[in-house]
A and B are shown apart, each in its own frame.
Chain A
Amino acid sequence: MTADHAPLTLAEKIWRAHHIADLASGARLVAIDRLLLHERTGGVALQSLEAAGREVLAPAQVFATMDHIVDTTEGRSDDTRMPTGRDFIVATREGAHRHGITLFDLDDPRQGIVHVISPEQGIVLPGLTLVCPDSHTCTQGAFGALAWGIGSSEAEQVLATMSLRMNRPGDMRITIEGALGEGVSAKDLALALLAELGSGGATGLMLEFAGPAVEALDMEGRMTLCNMATEMAAAGAVIAPDDKTFDYLKGRPYAPRGDVWDRAVAAWRDLATDPGASFAKDVRFDAAAVRPMVTWGTSPQDAVPIGRTIPEGDRVERRKLDYMDVRQGAQVEGLAIDAAFIGSCTNSRISDLRRAANILRGRKVAPGVNAICVPGSMQVKAQAEAEGLDRIFKDAGFQWRNAGCSMCFFAGGESFGAHERVVSSTNRNFESRQGPNTRTHLASPETVAASAIAGRIIAASALEKA
């Protein structure tokens, strides 16, 4: 930091490096470094661009994958359970080919959920601006990039101009002191923050996670934490890059090499908030107080420590309780489940699968529980198989799938049944998110695994005692 400028936030340093022009309206024209597309919204953006007679400005900086609608069962093809799913897949594939956009197609060993494969491939890098028509793009802020979700129209603009007209979002920081306890994961931390700050806790702000508990997380834990920032209505999330970040990225296919790598790392080391920088909202949180969490309602903020009761009082909407078939003052722990799901851009990476497998090893899923594991990418799947994790999942009674978003939501047409109670390592417990009238309880992969074994919602620590 030089003495001649006011202290800057990490986000402001990145915004400044992407400033193309001030607009008459007071907004800025901001350069975008990476655009990621998937078949649900990519095809329509490319189609609309073509209809307007416009070109893709920088195809080398655009990547596409198939994740939202594709089937995850063995022997999958362009056909999906949703009758028109094929149209989305084919439109995105043909559009990507026409414009020279790199596509991680169905049969590509690099295919997977966009926010899992982008880090795996070194597509996201510190200091970049990265956008994708997907709200969980904030996941990738874990690498010290400004990463946020956009709509299809904005994706079309980025295809044509590699820039966005925007008002710079304000800054928010959550400093997480202390250390997470044994058996408490980044997912529990994210749910505890949501319970504390609410679903509007970061509305419109670029949210920086900082502090010793964040530094202590590995890159996959940081991704899980950043992933849930959109559930607080944040504009995006960001964590200052450090040696863990650089070690993770070094040697990845799209990361720089040789001298350029050294130059890049030198530049990336400056990507931290200066002491004294100011934030529109600056919050402290104690990691040591976090317990394994589970949601009881239909918003991710409706989370409690497992073993605590559902809040009382008339601020709780009746509709949520009825939908979830739960009562105020009652425990979530012990509710019988019909299904257990491990997957999604929140928790489907190798460390998630390892922790879940540790719990499943030598145990069996309770009778009548439909248990499914969907690795986040084909690389995660291959790694898990190399470690023998697939055997543990399958021996326990879990289905072992190919990569995709799968039943985090049912874009491809596969869903859990009406009124089924599902414990899920995903990010949203909205009404009918995982299937018509399905009841979703969000939790960590450990809690999902333990609950699958018990047949009811339970913390992993309680399973060990049982």
Chain B
Amino acid sequence: MEPLTCLTSRAVPLPGDNIDTDIIIPSREMRSVSKSGLADGLFAGRRYTQIGGREPDPAFVLNQPQYAGASILISGANFGCGSSREHAVWALAEYGFRVVLAESFSPIFADNCIRNGLAPLTFAREDLAAMMTAAEQVQTFAIDLPQGTVTVGECRFRFSLAPEPLEMLVTGADVIALTLNQRDRIEQFRRRDRERRPWVYLD
């Protein structure tokens, strides 16, 4: 995973609460057994003029030229709710997003973000409203992950990430490799646990 520490970009405003993973990527856009080839399906239901089509709807924010190349997305509460499909995060990442700013996230979506080098950052409603306005004004956002700050013009907004997800994002670690380093501890646990709870182990 590519490490993420500091980033400067415009932010794409997507106001509204409960943007679900069906909106982020509809089922019909998940066509192959793969983590890639999903960027075109991102927000497909809103981004194109027709369901299943590819003609951009100029009214949708991603199609507006001032947001081309932006790597920050800003939305409302409970972002990424619904289906656990990691395809939603793969699509956002493949499109070029590295950070999502929101009032809250679905827990599965937030975990999926961390696994894919995308930072899910939460803010109080008032801060988010101020940032949404700045995003609509096409201002530039500067994000510093280790410092826990988002700077927009003269304004600075603070966020906190738990140490574990922060470390994963900043180092771009391979979580499975890290866990495999603990293989001895895992096997020791499983040996002892098998004595204690034999019904767990089915072999």
Contacts and interface: CB of A to CB of B under 8 A. Distances in A.
A165 B179 contact: yes
A29 B175 contact: no
B163 interface: yes
Of the candidates A33, A60, A135, A157, the one having the most CB atoms from chain B within 10 angstroms of its own CB is: A135
Nearest to A206: B107
A235 interface: yes
B111 A154 contact: yes
A116 interface: no
A307 interface: no
B180 A167 contact: no
Contacts of A200: 17, 77-78, 104
A432 B86 contact: no
Contact of A160 (B180, B201, B203): B180
A60 B203 contact: yes
Given A151-B86, A203-B104, A319-B16, A431 B33 contact: no
A233 B199 contact: no
A260 interface: yes
Given A134-B84, A409-B22, A432-B26, A163 B186 contact: yes
A199 B18 contact: yes
A7 interface: no
Interface of A is mostly: loop
A153 B32 CA distance: 16
Interface in B174-197: 175-176, 178-180, 182-183, 185-186, 189-190, 193, 197
Contact of A41 (B32, B86, B116, B186): B86
B164 interface: yes
B202 A61 contact: yes
A212 B45 CA distance: 44
A128 interface: yes
Given A169-B107, A430-B23, A154 B162 contact: no
Contacts of A439: none
Contacts of B104: 200, 203-204, 233
A233 B120 CA distance: 15
Contacts of A203: 78, 104, 106-107
A21 to B, nearest CB: 5
Nearest to A152: B86
B84 A149 contact: yes
A235 B45 CA distance: 28
A411 B176 contact: no
B117 to A, nearest CB: 11
Report the interface size class on chain A: 35 or more
A311 interface: no
Interface string A13-55: 0000100110101110101010000001101100110001010
A433 interface: yes
Contacts of B3: none
B203 A27 contact: no
B199 A264 contact: yes
Interface in B123-137: none
B36 to A, nearest CB: 11
Interface in A55-84: 57-58, 60-61, 82-84
Contact of A161 (B33, B85, B183): B183
A434 to B, nearest CB: 10
A150 B115 CA distance: 11
A48 B198 CA distance: 31
A256 B164 contact: no
A91 interface: yes
A261 B197 CA distance: 10
Given A25-B167, A156-B176, A165-B179, A150 B31 contact: no
Interface of A: 17, 20-21, 23, 25-27, 29, 31, 33, 40-41, 43-44, 47-48, 52, 54, 57-58, 60-61, 82-84, 87-88, 91, 125, 127-128, 133-135, 148-154, 156-157, 160-163, 165-167, 169, 199-200, 203-204, 230-231, 233-235, 254-256, 260-261, 263-264, 267, 299, 317, 319, 409-411, 413, 418, 428, 430-433, 436-437
6 contacts: A31-B189, A161-B186, A200-B17, A428-B22, A430-B22, A437-B51
Given A267-B197, A410-B27, 15 more contacts: A17-B197, A23-B164, A40-B85, A41-B86, A60-B203, A82-B28, A150-B111, A199-B17, A204-B104, A233-B81, A235-B107, A260-B199, A409-B83, A428-B20, A431-B45
- 9 pairs of A and B residues whose beta carbons are closest in the complex: A27-B164, A256-B199, A60-B203, A151-B86, A151-B112, A25-B164, A436-B51, A153-B115, A135-B84
